[in-house]
Amino acid sequence: MKTTWHADDALMARYVSGNAGSLDGASLEQHLTRCSDCRARIATHVDVEPLEMVWGRVREQVQAPAPSLVERLLIRVGVPAHDALLVAAAPSLRTSWLLGLAMTLGFVGLGAAYGGSRGLALFLLVAPLVPVAGVAFAYGPDVDPLYEVGVAVPYSTPRLLLLRTAAVLATSLPLVLVASLLVPGLSWTAVTWLLPALTFTAVMLAASTWTSPTVAALVLGIAWACSVGAAALDQNPYAVLAPFLLLVYAVLGVAAALVLRVRIRSLTPLGSLS
């Protein structure tokens, strides 16, 4: 049944301002559900600005994705929110990667605890390569599906690479350190793997100004595996951490850092793809 009565402007104004009273207000609401003319007219009495603000907040809540665990941690330690968003998108900073890494290191740590010299060799093989693999899987054309489009943006590529490297080191090194607690006869030698780990990461970053990070990491991984394997065959896995070699790692690391400092701007050339 089509209604013949319509609300007047005074009633509508009182309703919109919240002064219509419960009886008139309820009657008007009932009427509005049936009368499109009055719905159209009452819209002219409503201040749309607050409504748009509310709607904007609703959309923001619904659409904006919740920050990931790594993103929240980065923000908590002072990384700007927009940088944290970019850093946390790295494959090797996802929760699944970190969980997988924790499980792997758990097995490697147990191997070191109960596997004799072979288990120790396995630990020494894996420990320095964990941050290298993490950085290799944080940036570059082989692992980043957005690499090509990411080249054509103004955001500093070196900044992104260094931020992700720092985040990978901050997440992976503590996990390896915890695993190293399982190494029997814990002594300073059980944590000297930190030096080659940092050196290899610096070498890989320097090499990635010429080639992709994954290629650099693969070459480093093979070279390190050969070294640890040879030491394990001699029943002395710790030979790869001999004092003389630690000095070599330190010198190599400093050299790599200097090369990186000089060449890092080459990561944003005209045309990074080939």
Partner 1 sequence: MTTTTTVALTGITKRYRGTTALEAVDLSFKPGVTGLLGPNGAGKTTLLRIVATVLAPDSGSVRLLGRSPATPEALADVRRRLGYLPQEMGFPRGFTGFGFVDYMAVLKEWTARAPRHDEVRRVLDLVDLGDVSTKRVRALSGGQRRRVALAQAMLGDPDLMLLDEPTTGVDPEQRVSLRQVLSRAGEHSTVLLSTHQTEDVAALCDRVVVLDQGHVRFDGAVVDLVATAAGRVWLADAPDPGARASWRTGTGKHRNVGLAAPPGAEPTVPTLEDAYLLLLGDRALTTEAAA
Which residues contact partner 1 by CB under 8 A? Answer: 59-60, 62-65, 80-82, 85-86, 89, 91, 94, 144-146, 148-156, 265, 268-274
Q: Measured from the CB of residue 59, what is the shortest distance to partner 1 in angstroms?
A: 7
Residue 152 exposure: Cα atoms within 13 Å on the Cβ side: 3
**Integer CA distances (angstroms), 262 to 57, 205, 217, in order:** 46, 12, 20
Pick 106 or 150: Cβ nearer partner 1: 150
The type of residue at 23 is: L
SS3 13: helix
Pick 189 or 272: Cβ nearer partner 1: 272
Angle between helices 81-88 and 69-76 (to 10 degrees): 140
Q: Measured from the CB of residue 88, what is the shortest distance to partner 1 in angstroms?
A: 10
Residue with tokens 């049944």: 1
Phi and psi based region of residue 116 (left: phi greater than 0; alpha: psi -120 to 50; beta: remaining): left
Pick 145 or 243: Cβ nearer partner 1: 145
Residue with tokens 């002594």: 187
Q: Measured from the CB of residue 44, what is the shortest distance to partner 1 in angstroms?
A: 25
Residue 30 exposure: Cα atoms within 13 Å on the Cβ side: 8
| Spatial separation of the C-alpha atoms in residues 135 and 200, rounded to whole Å | 11
Q: Measured from the CB of residue 160, what is the shortest distance to partner 1 in angstroms?
A: 8
Pick 43 or 53: Cβ nearer partner 1: 53
Q: Measured from the CB of residue 201, what is the shortest distance to partner 1 in angstroms?
A: 23
Cα angle 97, 164, 153 (rounded to 5 degrees) comes to 115
| Spatial separation of the C-alpha atoms in residues 49 and 55, rounded to whole Å | 10
Pick 113 or 162: Cβ nearer partner 1: 162
| Spatial separation of the C-alpha atoms in residues 205 and 136, rounded to whole Å | 9
Q: Measured from the CB of residue 236, what is the shortest distance to partner 1 in angstroms?
A: 43
CA 181 vs. chain centroid, Å, equals: 26
Instruction: Enter the tokens of residue 189.
Output: 């030698």
Q: Measured from the CB of residue 8, what is the shortest distance to partner 1 in angstroms?
A: 38
